[in-house]
Chain A
């Protein structure tokens, strides 16, 4: 067992955890923040995506004890019922989900992904590495491919992200 302190969605959390506890299980089973989903528990699906220190990560692939002092944003930290985050609102409007199980991961991933593009980080499909990447649909598709949606709302998710991205970039 180890003590670990995290800041989750702006709130300080002190936990005492089995060292083997993933960040994902710390969130879901210990903090009862079940918005972050477990699809595979082995880094293959993206359902567990959260934003840690500004970067999107698969929370099933990292132990909670490795995040001492880190700031974590989960889906619960993005918007409120009264005021959805623009990405959440765009997903609702564009029907960017069906069963909803991949959705929190898609949304967290999309939010952090836009920041990556903003920061000028290239992707596999960026043609010119010396100029700032553009937010084309091909760029979004490439950058979002770690988030599987078996219901396959892909076409709609791309619309939702493009809509938010156009406003931001």
Chain B
């Protein structure tokens, strides 16, 4: 079905199942250890061989020679795959660097060989016997050094690279109150708990890969493209995914090498990337340098707002879209944004949870805190004062037939003037949050509160993340006993897809939740939105909605009635005085409906976004500078919340990742050798139990009929946007030390801390 006009009342609005805090339907499998992840399919391939990946020891250059002689005769070795013997490989549309390097090396730990052996231990031992001689080439590894010569990027996700409205330079120069500050965010790693893993099995020229991938159809296409085989010959299966956060959006070396290894060894092969290989072998969130300029009246009204951002990537790579939210979040007549992209020879930069806004809000929301202090206005009030109900800078995505859009020039922006948000309860989030958090008890003066050795402070930040919509299909079967099976290639990466999809089908067809079986993550199922960009829940359930609507029509047709007259509830369908069990209508053959949701012009006519506010309290130890997060509250306005329990979990997870970004997460770059030094889970620090207090999340009551028939939006990424800045602002409030360089580790605070008394 096409979704082109705002949703009116529909069966989802009954809210008998949707909107309930249902336990996850797959919960028992996961807690019993029975959910099967990519490396765990012992029954489909009885005797798989094991692959072990060898990563490049240099960042840039060439392999001069590769000596496999010892490895080949090592115990149990069945095959060794290298670029030399792998045949001609293509490159996936979503990949920047090749997944099997050699002789040219594009980045450190780029895979250069796969050793396949009878056992894991044998493969690992043999991998250590491969002797490679490299010829190093000089590379660029330092963003700060490359910054000034970095050219403007082509585009950012969801828009043009640069935009202008009014006369920013003039207005900023004339503003009585000005802030001009530069912030830096480091490279970050997804560090999902399940390593990228694949089991590949060939049957003739048909390939099946059990893998761990967020976007089944993208993965299927790119694996086929890389292996130079038809897409139809590839099947991907990925029902459980041990976390992704953007790191499993694309086909990675595990899938390609397992496939090549299985072809070479003529046996199913499984490969999991070794943990220590992951940060350099796969993708990461790139570091940014961001300059923010804000000019206001004495009363605090923004008259000029400017955001420049720099990031780096391999040649042909992508920039981080850190300026995105600055076009949409605050009012102001005169504006500019610009995104520059340096060529760096570090590993491939790419999407990580809320790419763009996650980093952009880390900078913008400290800037707003600094501005509030300059103005002597409460930071909550400053944000409210600069709210806008229309889009201030509509820098639409570039399109081929409109060259103007590429520049995001003023003419294009004028056209978008007056464009409204489908829903924007930003002020409500701030006000409710302030009330619940007890914001009025905060002292505006920094370093004014102390609890023993701990300096106590509170911080606030806005949360903003776009809501994207994309086509999603599903197939729904009704059997003769009234059971329902939903099939779609949608994935559940911990997001709760199984549960919200089951809830959607149960609501639409009027059957109990436990009569719905959801099957996900198989490329033989209809193509869904997949999981990314916080679009998964809204789009995939809308696809299921469409298929269920079709099934309702089929049921009505069988009964010879109109679907609008039929009432579906308690596993029965009622029309007038007829009351028939659904299974009976389906009959022994059952009924099958397949449909997709396709989003139309509403996405262009309205700006669809999610909003929120983060409130954080920290304690900073006066002697050591250690920061402890004491309290966290997020208030979110994100359309209809399909399952408050799963949605809350998404938000607390994102809040925690934001604490990581604020306090500890940083891939340390070796600028001489060109790699991330701390490439494992002990040295790339992520929050653990002891770092995180109880977290509170409030969802505003909201439905967004412009977004989809579900009237829902995404929420999983909103939760991370702004958190790090709220922590940073709380640290400032606690200590009076303003750190503009993430993560805020104790060494950056020590010098500025008050005397220990």
Question: Which residues of chain B are within 8 angstroms of A100 by Cβ–Cβ distance?
Answer: 26, 29-31, 35, 240, 242, 494
> Which residue in A29, A41, A153 is a CB contact (below 8 Å) of B275?
A41
Q: Nearest CB to that of A21 among chain B residues?
A: B121
Asked whether A11 is an interface residue with its Cβ less than 8 Å from the other chain, the reply is: no
Asked whether A23 is an interface residue with its Cβ less than 8 Å from the other chain, the reply is: no
Task: Provide the bound-state CA to CA distance between A148 and B125, in Å.
Answer: 28
A150 with B245: CB separation less than 8 A: yes
Minimal beta-carbon separation of B26 from chain A (angstroms):
8
Question: Which residues of chain A are within 8 angstroms of B494 by Cβ–Cβ distance?
Answer: 97-100, 151
Given A39-B275, A142-B690, are A97 and B31 neighbors across the interface (CB < 8 Å)?
A: yes
Asked whether B524 is an interface residue with its Cβ less than 8 Å from the other chain, the reply is: no
> Which residue in A21, A146, A152 is a CB contact (below 8 Å) of B652?
A152
> Which residue in A25, A42, A47 is a CB contact (below 8 Å) of B193?
A47
Asked whether A149 is an interface residue with its Cβ less than 8 Å from the other chain, the reply is: yes
Task: Provide the bound-state CA to CA distance between A99 and B39, in Å.
Answer: 15
A75 with B694: CB separation less than 8 A: no
Asked whether A44 is an interface residue with its Cβ less than 8 Å from the other chain, the reply is: yes
> Which residue in A39, A97, A103, A152 is a CB contact (below 8 Å) of B692?
A152
A88 with B31: CB separation less than 8 A: yes
Q: Nearest CB to that of A125 among chain B residues?
A: B690
B33 with A36: CB separation less than 8 A: yes
Question: Which residues of chain B are within 8 angstroms of A18 by Cβ–Cβ distance?
Answer: 119, 121-122
Asked whether B649 is an interface residue with its Cβ less than 8 Å from the other chain, the reply is: yes
B194 with A37: CB separation less than 8 A: yes
Q: Nearest CB to that of A88 among chain B residues?
A: B31
B275 with A95: CB separation less than 8 A: no
B120 with A81: CB separation less than 8 A: no
- B 233-266 to A, binary, CB cutoff 8 A, 1 in contact else 0: 0000000111111000000000000000000000
Question: Which residues of chain A are within 8 angstroms of B680 by Cβ–Cβ distance?
Answer: 40, 42, 44
Minimal beta-carbon separation of A157 from chain B (angstroms):
7
Task: Provide the bound-state CA to CA distance between A37 and B240, in Å.
Answer: 13
Asked whether B561 is an interface residue with its Cβ less than 8 Å from the other chain, the reply is: no
Minimal beta-carbon separation of B723 from chain A (angstroms):
11
Number of B residues with CB within 8 Å of any CB on chain A: 65
Minimal beta-carbon separation of B705 from chain A (angstroms):
28
Asked whether A147 is an interface residue with its Cβ less than 8 Å from the other chain, the reply is: yes
Given A98-B649, A153-B649, are A44 and B275 neighbors across the interface (CB < 8 Å)?
A: yes
A93 with B23: CB separation less than 8 A: yes
- Considering only residues 1-25 of chain A, those with a C-beta below 8 Å from chain B are 18, 20-21, 25
- A 125-169 to B, binary, CB cutoff 8 A, 1 in contact else 0: 000000000000100111011111111111111100000000000
Question: Which residues of chain B are within 8 angstroms of A45 by Cβ–Cβ distance?
Answer: 193, 275, 681
- Considering only residues 98-124 of chain B, those with a C-beta below 8 Å from chain A are 119-122
- Considering only residues 39-86 of chain A, those with a C-beta below 8 Å from chain B are 39-45, 47, 74-76, 78-81, 84
> Which residue in A33, A75, A154 is a CB contact (below 8 Å) of B656?
A154
Given A141-B690, A145-B690, A150-B686, are A35 and B656 neighbors across the interface (CB < 8 Å)?
A: no
Question: Which residues of chain A are within 8 angstroms of B125 by Cβ–Cβ distance?
Answer: 20
A92 with B23: CB separation less than 8 A: yes
Minimal beta-carbon separation of B650 from chain A (angstroms):
7
A84 with B694: CB separation less than 8 A: no
A95 with B690: CB separation less than 8 A: no
B40 with A95: CB separation less than 8 A: no
A102 with B23: CB separation less than 8 A: no
B650 with A81: CB separation less than 8 A: no
Minimal beta-carbon separation of A20 from chain B (angstroms):
4
B645 with A25: CB separation less than 8 A: no
Question: Which residues of chain B are within 8 angstroms of A84 by Cβ–Cβ distance?
Answer: 28, 31-32
B34 with A150: CB separation less than 8 A: no
Task: Provide the bound-state CA to CA distance between A164 and B340, in Å.
Answer: 53
Given A141-B689, A155-B652, are A101 and B39 neighbors across the interface (CB < 8 Å)?
A: no
Question: Which residues of chain A are within 8 angstroms of B27 by Cβ–Cβ distance?
Answer: 91-92, 95, 97
B193 with A148: CB separation less than 8 A: yes
Minimal beta-carbon separation of B614 from chain A (angstroms):
15
Minimal beta-carbon separation of A25 from chain B (angstroms):
6
- B 259-290 to A, binary, CB cutoff 8 A, 1 in contact else 0: 00000000000001011100000000000000
A158 with B694: CB separation less than 8 A: yes
Asked whether B640 is an interface residue with its Cβ less than 8 Å from the other chain, the reply is: no
B193 with A140: CB separation less than 8 A: no
Question: Which residues of chain B are within 8 angstroms of A29 by Cβ–Cβ distance?
Answer: 119-120
Asked whether B37 is an interface residue with its Cβ less than 8 Å from the other chain, the reply is: yes
Asked whether A28 is an interface residue with its Cβ less than 8 Å from the other chain, the reply is: yes
Given A76-B32, A98-B653, A153-B649, are A20 and B121 neighbors across the interface (CB < 8 Å)?
A: yes
> Which residue in B26, B242, B653 is a CB contact (below 8 Å) of A153?
B653
- Considering only residues 661-691 of chain B, those with a C-beta below 8 Å from chain A are 680-682, 686-690
Task: Provide the bound-state CA to CA distance between A78 and B33, in Å.
Answer: 10
Task: Provide the bound-state CA to CA distance between A80 and B33, in Å.
Answer: 10
Asked whether A117 is an interface residue with its Cβ less than 8 Å from the other chain, the reply is: no
Minimal beta-carbon separation of A97 from chain B (angstroms):
6
B688 with A148: CB separation less than 8 A: yes
Asked whether B24 is an interface residue with its Cβ less than 8 Å from the other chain, the reply is: yes
Task: Provide the bound-state CA to CA distance between A35 and B26, in Å.
Answer: 14
A158 with B193: CB separation less than 8 A: no
Q: Nearest CB to that of A18 among chain B residues?
A: B121
B689 with A101: CB separation less than 8 A: no
B243 with A101: CB separation less than 8 A: yes
Question: Which residues of chain B are within 8 angstroms of A93 by Cβ–Cβ distance?
Answer: 23
Q: Nearest CB to that of B685 among chain A residues?
A: A148
Minimal beta-carbon separation of A138 from chain B (angstroms):
8
A39 with B681: CB separation less than 8 A: yes
- B 22-56 to A, binary, CB cutoff 8 A, 1 in contact else 0: 01101111111111110110100000000000000
Asked whether B195 is an interface residue with its Cβ less than 8 Å from the other chain, the reply is: yes
A35 with B653: CB separation less than 8 A: no
Question: Which residues of chain B are within 8 angstroms of A44 by Cβ–Cβ distance?
Answer: 275, 680-682
Given A35-B33, A93-B23, are A149 and B193 neighbors across the interface (CB < 8 Å)?
A: yes
Task: Provide the bound-state CA to CA distance between A79 and B106, in Å.
Answer: 48
A99 with B681: CB separation less than 8 A: no
- Considering only residues 162-204 of chain B, those with a C-beta below 8 Å from chain A are 190-195
Task: Provide the bound-state CA to CA distance between A97 and B42, in Å.
Answer: 25
Asked whether B657 is an interface residue with its Cβ less than 8 Å from the other chain, the reply is: yes
Minimal beta-carbon separation of B59 from chain A (angstroms):
23
> Which residue in B272, B649, B653, B681 is a CB contact (below 8 Å) of A38?
B272
A152 with B657: CB separation less than 8 A: yes
Minimal beta-carbon separation of B517 from chain A (angstroms):
15
- Considering only residues 685-732 of chain B, those with a C-beta below 8 Å from chain A are 686-690, 692-695
Question: Which residues of chain B are within 8 angstroms of A32 by Cβ–Cβ distance?
Answer: 42
Asked whether B328 is an interface residue with its Cβ less than 8 Å from the other chain, the reply is: no
B689 with A145: CB separation less than 8 A: yes
Question: Which residues of chain A are within 8 angstroms of B30 by Cβ–Cβ distance?
Answer: 97, 100, 103
Question: Which residues of chain B are within 8 angstroms of A80 by Cβ–Cβ distance?
Answer: 32
Question: Which residues of chain B are within 8 angstroms of A101 by Cβ–Cβ distance?
Answer: 37, 192-194, 242-243
Task: Provide the bound-state CA to CA distance between A25 and B121, in Å.
Answer: 10
Asked whether B351 is an interface residue with its Cβ less than 8 Å from the other chain, the reply is: no
Question: Which residues of chain B are within 8 angstroms of A76 by Cβ–Cβ distance?
Answer: 32-34
Asked whether B493 is an interface residue with its Cβ less than 8 Å from the other chain, the reply is: yes
Asked whether B523 is an interface residue with its Cβ less than 8 Å from the other chain, the reply is: no
Given A40-B681, A41-B274, A148-B193, are A107 and B31 neighbors across the interface (CB < 8 Å)?
A: yes
Task: Provide the bound-state CA to CA distance between A156 and B652, in Å.
Answer: 9
B275 with A40: CB separation less than 8 A: yes
Supply 17 further A-B pairs (C-beta < 8 A) apart from A75-B32, A98-B650. Answer: A25-B121, A35-B33, A40-B195, A42-B275, A95-B23, A95-B645, A98-B494, A100-B26, A101-B242, A142-B689, A148-B193, A150-B245, A152-B652, A152-B655, A152-B657, A152-B692, A153-B649
What 9 pairs between A and B have smallest CB-CB spacing?
A: A35-B33, A101-B242, A98-B494, A99-B494, A100-B30, A152-B656, A75-B33, A34-B40, A92-B27
A-B contact pairs, 9 of them (CB 8 A): A37-B193, A42-B275, A44-B682, A76-B32, A76-B33, A81-B32, A81-B34, A88-B31, A92-B24
Show the binding face of A for B, using Cβ within 8 Å: 18, 20-21, 25, 28-29, 32-45, 47, 74-76, 78-81, 84, 88-89, 91-93, 95, 97-104, 107, 137, 140-142, 144-158
